[in-house]
Structure 1
Amino acid sequence: MVAGEKIETREERIPLWKLKLDPTNVRFSHLPGPLSDKELEDEIWKENETRDLMKSIQAAKGLIEPPFVMEGDGYYIIKEGNRRVVALRKLKEAVDNGEIDDFPASYFDKIPCEIIPKKIDPIRMDIMLAVWHVSGKKEWDALNKASHIFKMHRDKGLTYDIIAEYIGVSKSTIKRALLAYEECQRFLKKYPNDPVGIKRFTYFDEFFKKSYLVQKATVDRSFRDKFMEWLAAGKFRTHRDVRVLPDILEDTDATKELEKGTIEDALNTLYRKYPDRGDPLWETIASAVEVLRSMPRSEVKAILEDQAKRHLFSNLVSEVDTLKAELNRIRNGRSSKLK
């Protein structure tokens, strides 16, 4: 059932040569097109997942799950399962060339497929793809999900509510994906020679996950351009660095270091001032201090009344005293050397 309509498919074995890769495949929407079937195959074969899938199909002696296709003029367009078909093409090629000898010569000539009716509404087809790849078990990456949602919303006119209802994600998630996708497209227009290109999407995805950054960009529109400027200048190592950007921007010294250098310089400045933010050991110590500072009166009294708790507290005090003595020895040793 898709968009309130039952979609009935029929299974049929189709010659492999009649299966054409989908030129509208959202995974390659960022590439200049249109791409030929061979160009699409080459792009898909570059992915490690395709090579792994080929090995899995070889080990399983065939497909576990058939691709979904739509009938064209003398051929079939693959709507779901492009990677599987490329893997099968490579297997057939290896069998034909004698590189694999554990399959009969005609083993991959025909493969089982689920045929989608030609009359299906394009919007329902988009929703079906979204159910498969946005919220289903064969998930696309964040960029491809956003690209497909963008297509459904802007090209097909589906509302946030409708998309959210059919693919099972929140409306806020859809809004964030669209914002990140649009900002990424704006960035690419502004910096067309950026070496990372469309994969910058992950940076914008992280940006719109942070309410501090979204609020800052809402109050000051120029902040979005500043963020793009930092991206283009290579100030971030990976998209994960965007997650710590709010901490940096809340500190004047760290922000100045980001402007002058990279996020690594900014973090070094921030962590020198606040070691508990960058080191798990000091984060634990800071948490322990806060726990002791806010310990309820009842727990303080329990130290006197409970032998096990008293013993644990005594160990804590003993370890702190030992550490203080060690620090004093180190300090005194340095003082004597200075003399």
Structure 2
Amino acid sequence: MPEMPKDLLTYLNSFRVSNIPDLRNAILKSQQWDSPYNRQTHFDHDWIRNTMYNLLHEYESGSLEKDHLELWLLIHIWSFIDRVFGNVDGVEATRSESSSRASSNRKNRNRTVSAIVSMKRKIMGRRGDLIIRKVSTEYGCSEAGKSYEGNNGTKLLHERGIKAPKMMKDMFYSLCEAVGMEENKIRKLQSIGFIHSGLMILLLRLDSPAGYTCRITRTKMLEIPSQIMQFGSKILPIIVLAWKAKMIVKDTIEFVEQKQYLENEEDTDDQLQSLQNSCEFSPPRKKVYQAIASDSPNKKNKPRKRIISKNKSKK
């Protein structure tokens, strides 16, 4: 995973506190980058300060010691993940109202124009709690639950083991298509997925280092403490995790769009020759066609269990 620069890591470490007054003092302490403020250079510093200030309000009100619904947690706690992508050009983190386009493309891959049979209705993609996209290309997602029931909780197992990985695979396949299924490029692609369970969080990464198989790597489970005494030891690793996730997305975007940038930098003769050959087949390259994720079984078509009445069983 990407490494956080030392100056940013040092500033983050200044929030290693264990009480509310010290946290407020660390937030309000004047910094050299305050004036003049350069958004391109110091966005991450400002994002860390803003995140700490929002968490300070929650600790002052004691709201983290109470039970909350999933939506409350997404708005009050996990919103700093949305904001970390604020300096990545063109990227938006959308919640709830948006479904995955990559997932929709997989579900509708066999859809054809009406002829002998009528055209099938277009199926909507999976609706995640967070979709990270740039225009129509998706790079990451998130799934959330309102409470943590242990590592073997039903909702956590389903979202960590099936729901999020499947959506990440759809996004990864879409990225593979964007680079022409070229093997040397596929090896450098990644899609990410956050799993929230109450005040717990972990990050999933999906890539394909060799062959046709995709690999999912997950971080350890991190926790936002309900009391501020453990603020320094537990909050800071979560901030680092969110920053590293952003850099994975940023690096993937730059790599996917690299081909276009290189074409723009060609000299005039190369551009003319490329235009001359634009209608012909390009030279064969080594390609790896990734397998598409399988569709989930339709609940309507699942076989029903045969029910035998007690009277018949006695006979």
For Structure 1 versus Structure 2, the TM-score category normalised by the shorter chain is: under 0.3
Structure exhibiting the larger radius of gyration computed from Cα positions:
1
Question: Whose strand fraction is larger, Structure 1's or Structure 2's?
Answer: 2
Output the TM-score relative to the length of structure 2.
Answer: 0.27
Question: What TM-score comes out, normalization by structure 1 length?
Answer: 0.25
- The higher-RCO structure (CA 8 Å, 6+ apart) is 2
